[in-house]
Amino acid sequence: MINQENGVFPAVCPLDCPDTCGLLLHKENGKIVKVVGNPDHPITKGAICNKVRNMTERVYHPERLQYPMRRVGAKGEGKFEQISWDEAIGEITSKFSSIAETYGSESILPYSFYGNMGILGVDGMDRRFFNALGASMLEQTICNAAGNTGWKYTMGANQGTIPEDTEHADLIIVWGGNIVSTNMHQVVLAEKARKKGAQIVVIDVHRNRTAQWGDWFIPLYPGTDSALALGVMHVLFERGMANEAFMQKYTVGHEALRDHVQSYTPERVARITGVPEADIVKLAELYGKANAAHIHIGNGLQHHDHGGMSVRSISCLPAITGHWLQRGGGAVRTNSYASTNSNALERPDLRHNPEPRVVNMNRIGEALLEAEQPIRAMLVYCSNPLVVAPDSERVERGFAREDLFTVVHDLFMTDTAKYADIVLPAKSSFEATDLYTSYWHQYVHLQEPVIAPIGESKSNVELFSLLGQAMGYDPEIFGETPEQMIEAALQNTDNPYMNGVTLEALQEQRFVKLDMTPYDSYLDRLPTPSGKIELYSETMEQRGLPPLPTYRTSLEGYDGERPASVTDEYPLMFVSPPNHNFLNSSFANTQKHQRLEKMPMLQIHPEDAARRNVEEGDTVLVWNERGQIELTAKITEAMLPGTVISQGLWWDGEGKKQRVNTLTSNRLSDMGNGATFFSATVEVKRQ
Ligand SMILES: Nc1nc2c(c(=O)[nH]1)N[C@H]1C(S)=C(S)[C@@H](COP(=O)(O)OP(=O)(O)OC[C@H]3O[C@@H](n4cnc5c(=O)[nH]c(N)nc54)[C@H](O)[C@@H]3O)O[C@H]1N2
Ligand SMILES: Nc1nc2c(c(=O)[nH]1)N[C@H]1C(S)=C(S)[C@@H](COP(=O)(O)OP(=O)(O)OC[C@H]3O[C@@H](n4cnc5c(=O)[nH]c(N)nc54)[C@H](O)[C@@H]3O)O[C@H]1N2
Ligand code: SF4
Ligand SMILES: [Mo]
């Protein structure tokens, strides 16, 4: 493909998005001129989002990094000089070696996430390198750790309704997810259900694009979802809408749950959530009377102090009504039916220190500034921590440490890369070979290079192969080709869903469907300790968590029951979810995507604005004890009074202070050591 100047070539979207679309790249004179959805892909069906339709803006952006560079200015200043790959690899390996020798290998830390979802590059050759080096390990819990852990207490594994079935649902509840922007093919499937009469309910803290599309929007206070779920359960039990036969056969703990939810009366739940009593009853009636209700549990509601419990509570609902038994009924948080052989890919056996120090990625600022055993070197790839990690002022102070040796591998000079000692240019996914699974649908994809690398850029696999070989590690392990790695990844996975997914099949078909045979008996052998849906979880009890779904307030500094009563100093709840045209902080530097989002804004309720003399379009200062940013006020009744919203992970850019994570906390969630981005409080004033 790479050598063909013209034609249409298969590809896969590499972004951290559940849809993992099949793409077709149109090439003219050796350049990609158009990116479209593959019409033959059963989920994509030819439709892709605006972000990726404009992917050529990113791939051929004039500011793409072309060659390795060494810092010549101060950290953060962004001044670099060109060096060769040989020099870069030599400098990195000699620094890493001397740091490991003097201070121990665990003073070196990788920092990565899923800027490119290719498994070989982020869960493959990179891991081999850090394992062989004996580096500290990064706990990668910035995205969905809290909610996934909460779900697993109830259901055992991150497996729920399969996407295609949801078109058969007669009620779809989108709970804390902005699927119009973040999971567009679920919207397509829900539209099919809607044509057959399904109703769409959206439960969110603001009237996002999805709420505007749905039939009924229920706004609530941030972090109060457990209370709402418990209120619904109260009504279901009280009005005889619980499915006794289902609960007997498939669940444990339903008697205890029935007693427990008696105290969550609609009156009490209304006070906690801001949802009127009548609406709580109406929601429960809708849910209880539906035949096949599907709940899409988004990522947003779990970015809270008690986000794990929110997902845990909601995941109990379909077990009370038995919607699981109907096609399309049930719920989904994320789907991990696919898996690969991680031992073969990551080679944990290469470690001399099998239990290394673990650093939580949400606390990277604190770790850099305060770790007892200082972090002396970092290699950042597929992530932009200065923008995406919480408490970003602290992260920035950490990266500014003069005695820290930092390498950043990226396509662009991000806010993070400006703090690097060595910056390395990364290939885009269309320039490399890699393997992609989806965390929502059932197709596994292969990407092979469609265009030649831009400048001297290298893929993650190439970078870590070079580093491993320069360190003198086993040339067989560090010399493996991507194809050899894929074969290893697909062998002995012990996962029956992976039957038939082979390199040959992928090379021939580009994407291969999982073998979904085991899904038919999914409910009969859940991987929970009891083998059933656990409404009461002894594991949670043993871990000091409430064994039954229980509401706890999510607001910083406040331990009462009513979230509207936040502190006097910071009275507004601040929620900062992603926007439509960026993918986390990716695309925040492409002009086309920027223009579509206009500018970083603060959505504020008219009551809260009036109290502060804030008018539409004003520049406002938003601050708390962690720092301050400037945003443009947008006055709207999209949320309940007391909540303010800023969408999108903008970079700071020239002289601007606009990163929302300046204001977010690095506290960890109740479960899974996850991020608590949306449990922040702030004050606002006119500039
Ligand atoms: N366009 C676009 N698509 C993306 C991304 C992107 O940045 N842009 N990011 C990708 C990634 S990495 C992820 S994890 C997913 C995330 O996508 P989603 O699962 O949709 O999650 P979020 O967009 O983080 O949040 C969804 C909604 O939850 C709301 N919310 C916040 N707090 C609460 C709460 O306490 N209760 C309730 N009910 N709602 C709450 C937010 O306001 C937001 O409207 O999207 C992926 N897709
Ligand atoms: N306030 C707030 N903060 C959030 C969120 C939120 O909703 N609100 N969302 C959180 C969530 S859910 C997530 S998942 C995280 C996401 O955080 P990140 O995973 O850090 O996501 P991105 O901002 O997209 O940064 C990815 C970087 O990888 C680079 N990259 C892309 N491809 C490659 C490659 O092949 N090789 C290398 N070396 N680099 C590559 C991109 O250019 C980009 O700079 O952010 C979290 N932060
Ligand atoms: S970002 Fe999501 S919706 Fe857009 S092309 Fe990629 S996988 Fe598809
Ligand atoms: Mo995420």
Radius of gyration of the chain (CA): 25
Per DSSP, the residues of 560-619 read SS-TT---SSS-EEEE----SS-BTTBTTT-HHHHHHH-S-EEEE-HHHHHHTT--TT-E
Q: What is the whole-number distance in angstroms between the Cα of residue 31 and the centre of ligand 3?
A: 21
Check pLDDT > 90 for residue 83.
yes
Rounded Cα gap, residues 358 and 365, in angstroms: 14
Give nearest CA residue, ligand 1 atom 13: 17
Rounded Cα gap, residues 96 and 130, in angstroms: 11
Average pLDDT over every residue of 117-134: 98
List pLDDT tens digits, range 535-566: 999 999 999 999 999 998 765 544 445 554 46
Check pLDDT > 60 for residue 589.
yes
Buried b (16+ CB within 10 A) or exposed e, 140-157: bbbbbbbbbbbbbbbbbe
Q: What pLDDT shows up at residue 270?
A: 94
Instruction: Identify the CA nearest to 350 among candidates 471, 473, 461, 470.
Output: 473
List pLDDT tens digits, range 88-106: 999 999 999 999 999 999 9
Contact 146/362 with Cβ under 8 angstroms?
no
CB-proximal residues (5 Å) to ion ligand 4? 143
161-332+527-542: CATH topology? Dimethylsulfoxide Reductase; domain 2 (3.40.228)
Tell whether pTM > 0.75: yes
In terms of DSSP bridges, do strands 7-12 and 377-381 run parallel, antiparallel, or are they unpaired? unpaired
Check pLDDT > 60 for residue 316.
yes
- Hey, what are 446's tokens? 């292969």
Give nearest CA residue, ligand 2 atom 17: 388
Residue 430 DSSP label: G
Residue with token string 């960026």:
582
Kindly list the domain boundaries of the chain, sorted by start residue: 7-59, 69-143+344-440+453-513, 161-332+527-542, 572-686
Q: Which amino acid is at 434?
A: D
Asked: is 7-59 a CATH 3.30.200.210 domain? The reply is yes
CATH classification for the domain delimited by 69-143+344-440+453-513, as one of 3.90.1150.10, 3.40.50.620, 3.40.50.740, 3.50.50.60: 3.40.50.740
Residue 561's DSSP bridge partners are none
User: Which residues, 6 or more positions from 386, have their beta carbon under 8 angstroms from its beta carbon?
Assistant: 392, 395, 396, 399, 414, 415, 416, 419, 659
Contact 513/40 with Cβ under 8 angstroms?
no
Q: Which atom of ligand 1 is nearest to the CA of 647?
A: 42
Ligand 3, residues at Cβ distance < 6 Å: 13, 15, 17, 19-21, 48-49, 51-52, 184, 583
Q: Which atom of ligand 1 is nearest to the CA of 223?
A: 35
Q: What pLDDT shows up at residue 557?
A: 47
Q: What pLDDT shows up at residue 566?
A: 66
Q: Which CATH class is domain 572-686?
A: mainly beta
Q: What is the whole-number distance in angstroms between the Cα of residue 106 and the centre of ligand 4?
A: 27
Task: Tell me how far apart the terminal alpha carbons of the chain are, to the nearest angstrom.
Answer: 54
Contact 71/422 with Cβ under 8 angstroms?
yes
User: Residue 631 phi/psi, 5° resolution?
Assistant: -135, 170
Q: Which ligand is nearest to the CA of 36?
A: 3
Q: What is the whole-number distance in angstroms between the Cα of residue 361 and the centre of ligand 3?
A: 25
3 state SS of 199: strand
Mutate to test the pocket of ligand 3, among 52, 116, 178, 582 (most ligand atoms within 8 A of CB): 52
Instruction: Identify the CA nearest to 535 among candidates 227, 319, 293.
Output: 319
Q: Which ligand is nearest to the CA of 638?
A: 1
The answer to whether domain 161-332+527-542 and domain 572-686 are alike in fold is no
